Amino acid sequence: MFHENEKLLGKEHLKRMEAHTFLIVGAGGLGGHLANALVRLGAKRLILVDRDVFEKSNLNRQLFSNQKSVGEYKVDAVRRELLDISPDCEIECFYDDIESLENHPNIAKASVVFDAVDSVATRLWLEKFAERLEVPLFHGAIGGWYGEVALIEPGTRLLETLYGQKKKGVEKELGSPTFTPAIVANLMATECVKWLHGEEGVLRNKMLIIDLKHHSYQVVFDRSKK
């Protein structure tokens, strides 16, 4: 399965994907699309964390929300759908806030962390958590037509710098349409694959700001060029 990816990504691709345990925090808009992409890229071990159940209001944008899964824990529905794609995938689900799982031994097995949550406070917590695990954090955030993506390496505290004392983003006013989480989540997966293969051009400790409405794509915090 998934050998088709090797045409582009090389013979080592699946082996490298299989070597990692991917922790996806947040199984909503970004998290669902991200889990889908990782499994189709050949991921074999995933950990999903989200305390929420699917609601009707999620149907416009959350990949695995549907008439059957409304009312079900998001992580359970996502896991079931992922296993339909890749039956031998190991997927562990947690139904709590990530903060309460800080010392869980299975969470600590994560070798890559994805920030797909919707709270600034949790994002800042995750940045420190990934730092403690000494693993990369792939950050994604969305709001309306806008999104951002970054790979944050331990010790750089990019999110702490960026969000500072801010408590919320533009999504509270703009909501999130169908396409924005799909695009941003797949960019997160793209960056992860590039990182995995040591490709140049990874958004390493810099951030891509995406404006889908006016097709403006800006990389900020790029200190390597200065």
Partner 1 sequence: MITVKLYAYLRDNRGKEVSIDYREGLTIQDIANDLKIDLADVSIVICDGKDDLPNRMKDVEVSEDSVVHFFPPVAGG
Residues lying near partner 1 in the complex (CB under 8 A): 26, 28-31, 116-120, 123, 140-148, 161-166, 168-171, 173-174, 176, 181, 209, 211, 214, 218, 220-222
CA–CA dist 76, 79 (Å, integer): 5
CB of 209 to partner 1, least distance (A): 6
CB of 33 to partner 1, least distance (A): 11
**In this complex, which beta carbon is closest to partner 1, that of residue 4 or of residue 60?**
60
Residue located via tokens 């989200």: 50
CB of 115 to partner 1, least distance (A): 8
CA–CA dist 219, 221 (Å, integer): 7
Tally of CB atoms within 10 A around 124: 17
CB of 140 to partner 1, least distance (A): 8
**In this complex, which beta carbon is closest to partner 1, that of residue 28 or of residue 136?**
28
**In this complex, which beta carbon is closest to partner 1, that of residue 28 or of residue 42?**
28
Instruction: Quickly list H helices, 149-178.
Output: 158-163, 171-174
DSSP secondary structure code for residue 64 in this structure: T
DSSP secondary structure code for residue 134 in this structure: T
CB of 20 to partner 1, least distance (A): 21
**In this complex, which beta carbon is closest to partner 1, that of residue 95 or of residue 145?**
145
**In this complex, which beta carbon is closest to partner 1, that of residue 106 or of residue 218?**
218
The answer to whether the beta carbons of residues 143 and 174 sit under 8 Å apart is yes
Nearest Cα neighbor of 44 from 90, 78, 107 is 90
